[in-house]
Amino acid sequence: MQLQNITEQDIQVGIKAKDWEEAIRKSAAPLVMRGSIEETYVESIIDSVKRNGPYFVLTKHVALAHARPETGVNNLDLNFTILENPVSFGHKELDPIKMIITLAATDASSHLEVIADLTDILIDEKLLEKIFSAKTTNEVYLLLSGKG
């Protein structure tokens, strides 16, 4: 398995957050700094969870934070955030969340290849455990890029 075009700049490790809302803001921050998303996109993600619940908690300990493209996406982009201490999103079976993948998709289809690659990661429990226990961005990069 490998994730195409990932760089170490797409990964944060050891991020501290007091709750799911702060975790979302911190996981999206690199995308805001790169100009891939606007702050309105981050607010849209948070509002969506408040309205619809933790619908993007995909598997045990993993959330794929995203919202509608028209709420502030400029470029297709992705960020992996490994939390120092897991946070609860309110999902009975899959909490607490250890990793948030923030996805910025510009339309309904441009991100499908990325989603296919992410699926390969999310079904590999051994790989996920290695990612969760990684201490550096380089370790996670090597695991996600297939070089580790």
Cβ atoms of 97 and 61 closer than 8 Å: yes
Residue 13 lies in a domain: yes
As a whole number of angstroms, the distance between CA 10 and CA 41 comes to 18
For residue 113, tell me if it sits in a domain. no
Task: Measure CA 39 to chain center.
Answer: 16
Q: What is the pLDDT of residues 81-134, one digit of tens each?
A: 999 999 999 999 999 999 999 999 988 777 677 788 888 889 999 999 999 999
- The number of distinct structural domains making up the chain is 1
25 contact partners, CB below 8 Å, separation of at least 6: 42, 46
Judged against a pLDDT cut of 50, whether residue 1 lies above it is answered with no
Tell me the residue range of the domain where 70 lies: 9-107
Where residue 20 sits, what CATH number does that domain have?
3.40.930.10
The catalytic site residues sit at 66
To the nearest whole number, what is the mean pLDDT of the chain? 92
Q: Where are the alpha helices (DSSP H) in 9-52?
A: 20-34, 39-52
- pTM as predicted: 0.93
Report which DSSP code applies to 73: B
**Which pLDDT belongs to residue 146?**
83
61: alpha, beta or left? (left if phi > 0; alpha if psi -120 to 50): left
SS3 144: helix
Q: What is the pLDDT of residue 80?
A: 97
Cα 109–Cα 61–Cα 86 angle in degrees, nearest 5: 120
Question: In the prediction, which pLDDT does 113 show?
Answer: 77
In a domain, 24, yes or no: yes
Other Cβ atoms less than 10 A from the Cβ of 10: the count is: 22
* Three-state DSSP class for residue 25: helix
Distance CA 5, CA 145 (A): 8
- Determine the 3-state secondary structure of 40 from DSSP: helix
